[in-house]
Amino acid sequence: MQALFSRSWRLWYRFLRTDMSATFRLAYPIAIGQVGIVLLGITDTIMVGQLGKVPLAAAGFANTIFFIPTVVGIGIMSVLSPLVATAKTSQNEIETQDLFKSALLIALFTGILITIALCIAGYYIDFFGQPAEVNREAEEYIYIIAISAIPMLFYVAMRSYFDGLSFIKAGLYATYVALLLNVLLNWLLIYGHWGFPAWGLFGAGIATLIARVAMVVVMFYFVSFAPKIKHWIGNFKRPYNRSLTFKLLRLGIPAGLQYLFEMGAFSMAALMMGWLGTNTSAAHQIAINLAATTYLIAASVSSAGGIRVGNALGENDYSKIFRAGTTAFLINILFMFFACLVFVFGRDFLINLYIQDPTVHAIAAELLIIAAFFQLSDGIQVVGLGLTRGLEDVNVPTLITLISYWVVGIPLAYVLGFYWQLSGWGIWLALLIALTISATMLTMRFYMKLNAIWRKAIENKVAEKPTVEMPEKTKNWTEEVITTPS
């Protein structure tokens, strides 16, 4: 018994040491890059906020419109990392190179379509029912950031490709170069320092556009001069692979819809919170901002887990797929449990960082209790999405997100918040229930899909196994036994 316990402990220790460290090595640069992207938004908000509440409201409104279609393009590119990881592990250099060209082509056309859609939204901006002064500020700003959708998707495509090659630092460098450039350009173009024109919110839009172009320039620098990347990108002269492009779209469009369903549900919840009044809406913004911060860390673990699953799939190592997926789940459960404790016991301190209003503080404190509990569900469901993408399984997870958020979550939020008059507490309780359903179903889907792939591989091996001819000596022996009379 003691020997069995000792052996089990050694196996668990080896599992924790190898698989967890491998996931951490992939996840932490992605997490730092995600924090850099968040800081881009935070610096814009802080610097535009110095101009007054109308420019701040206009910037927030315009960025909300910007990210609704853009998130679909980001979702399409989210499947690229596992595909690249699988092709690289299989030593399929041609497919790896063709994936890069296909991703850039899709990024270009998707960015153009998003830019056109955003320009149309800017032209009909009065349709959204915002105050007239907010619309005036937001209209010219949204035209500028609409153009930035193209370089932004180029950056996302290249970062996803590099992540699949396990070359994480390129995206990290690009993000922080853009962050520093954005702060400097905001300071010059918003306020008019060093003889530059004081363009206000329009200047912030120009700064954002230039910063996003700079991110692409940095990424192309690595394409041109980093030997590890140049080897896998290869020659652009070969025609692009149409079938691979369609495969990327076939897997990517459902993934983009997953992003859209989730973001759309939370945007709808924010709209409902606004129906309940300014105080409730402000409290919601505080709670959702804190929850989004921890979500980004969890999403980094999800990306790392999806890459490791893609690598293991390329090796046909189903034990490694199981370990990579289970490790990602375990890391996020531990991290989100810690975040849950911080939200429960540190909620007063966290809320005071945002606002001192006692009414808003009381509402936000209630919401953070619920946010603390949905940390676990949120962390598990985002890992489930990442791991199923690693297995190239996107259609069923897309259906799961649709059911969880729009069949259950949003209708339940309306019933609890308004029909049962539980207000903001009821809306957030519905979000908790939707996230828990999504987490449960996606976890089951990953392990069921892995089991199905494993069984199919066994069946294929059995089917391909050649029939073993019986040796001649054995044949004669059996015939002799059968024919010899007793």
User: Which domain CATH number covers 229?
Assistant: 1.10.357
Taking only the tens of pLDDT, the chain with its 486 residues reads: 455 445 555 666 666 667 777 787 777 777 776 666 666 766 776 677 677 767 766 776 777 788 888 888 888 888 888 888 888 877 777 888 888 888 899 999 999 999 999 999 888 888 776 677 777 888 888 898 899 999 999 998 998 888 888 787 788 888 889 889 999 999 999 888 888 888 888 888 899 899 999 999 999 888 887 777 777 776 666 666 788 888 888 888 888 888 888 888 887 887 787 777 767 777 777 787 788 778 888 888 888 888 888 888 878 888 888 888 889 999 999 999 999 999 989 888 888 877 677 888 888 888 888 888 888 899 999 999 989 988 888 889 999 999 999 999 999 999 998 888 888 888 989 999 999 999 999 999 999 998 888 887 777 766 665 544 444 444 443 344 334 443
Residue 10 lies in a domain: no
Instruction: Verify that 188 and 312 share a domain, yes or no.
Output: no
The answer to whether 375 touches 439, Cβ cutoff 8 Å, is no
HSE-up of residue 151 (Cα within 13 Å, Cβ side) = 20
197: left (phi over 0), alpha (psi -120 to 50) or beta: beta
Same domain, 230 and 259: no
| pTM of the predicted model as reported, rounded to 2 decimal places | 0.75
Residues 146 and 287 in one domain: no
Domain-embedded: residue 217: yes
Tell me, what amino acid is at 125? Answer: I
Please tell me whether residues 170 and 87 are part of one structural domain. yes
In this structure, the answer to whether residues 227 and 308 fall within a common structural domain is no
Asked, for residue 42, whether it belongs to a domain, the answer is yes
Do 442 and 372 fall into the same domain?
A: yes
Same domain, 104 and 209: yes
CA dist., res. 271 & res. 186, Å (int): 29
The answer to whether 258 and 398 are in contact (CB under 8 A) is yes
Q: Is 198 left (phi over 0), alpha (psi -120 to 50) or beta?
A: beta
What are the tokens at 326? 């289970």
Closest CA to 362 of 351, 349, 346: 351
Does 286 share its domain with 150? no
Q: Domain check: are 218 and 347 in the same one?
A: no
Last residue of one domain, picked from the residues 184, 209, 240:
240
Same domain, 260 and 228: no
> Is the torsion defined by CA of 453, 456, 458, 464 positive or negative?
negative
Q: Is residue 390 part of a domain?
A: yes
Shared-domain flag, residues 262 and 355: yes
Do 44 and 139 have their domain in common? yes
The number of distinct structural domains making up the chain is 2
Q: Can you tell me the distance from the alpha carbon of 186 to that of 290, in angstroms, rounded to the nearest whole number?
A: 25
**Domain assignment of residue 480, yes or no:** no
Q: Classify residue 270: in a domain, yes or no.
A: yes
Spatial separation of the C-alpha atoms in residues 343 and 367, rounded to whole Å: 10
Residue that finishes a domain, picked among 240, 271, 294: 240
How confident is the model over 412-461, as pLDDT tens digits? 999 998 888 888 888 989 999 999 999 999 999 999 998 888 887 777 76
Residue 15 lies in a domain: no
Which domain, by its residues, includes 176? 28-240
**Cα–Cα distance list, 382 to 59, 123, 273, 387, 425 (Å):** 28, 35, 24, 9, 23
